[in-house]
């Protein structure tokens, strides 16, 4: 399944091998690359090959893809030995911090990522 149909999308271009990235995993449905501007020692992006602009654009037909994205998050976390913990983030829309209009999951780890002081223990 190679559905990388947005010619100007950087993630579609990476999927088509038209732009460079440091791959850490790939299959027919998704690929995982190292973030070019990491926020922590481990900062990876899990990206579906199918171009979906953001969470709001998902449909019930994407249920299998959603499950697979999180299976890959779990697999990559195990491969990177992130047993101490990691953060999974999906930004949606400009106000949500999304800078590339192609759904992707951030895996961030390798340092203490903090906590909210008002969070329950």
Is 102 a catalytic site residue? no
Question: Which of 51, 102, 104, 106 is flagged as catalytic?
Answer: 104
| 10 vs 120: CA distance, rounded Å | 40
Q: Say which residue the tokens 């037909």 belong to.
A: 61
CA R_g for the chain: 15
Torsion of CA 27, 51, 23, 76, to 10 degrees: -60
Cβ 32 vs Cβ 47: under 8 Å: yes
28 DSSP 8-state letter: S
Look at residues 12, 18, 58 and name the one whose alpha carbon lies nearest to residue 31. Answer: 12
- Residues annotated catalytic, as ranges: 104
């Amino acid at each position: 399944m190679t559905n990388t149909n947005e010619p100007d999308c950087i993630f579609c271009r990476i999927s088509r091998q038209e732009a460079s990235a440091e791959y850490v995993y790939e299959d027919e449905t998704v690929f995982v690359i190292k973030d070019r501007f990491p926020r922590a020692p481990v900062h990876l992006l899990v990206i579906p090959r199918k171009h979906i602009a953001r969470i709001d654009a998902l449909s019930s037909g994407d249920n299998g893809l959603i499950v697979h994205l999180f299976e890959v998050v779990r697999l990559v976390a195990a491969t990177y030995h992130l047993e101490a913990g990691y953060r999974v983030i999906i930004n949606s829309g400009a106000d949500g911090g999304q800078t590339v209009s192609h759904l992707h999951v951030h895996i961030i780890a390798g340092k203490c990522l903090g906590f909210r002081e008002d969070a329950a223990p």
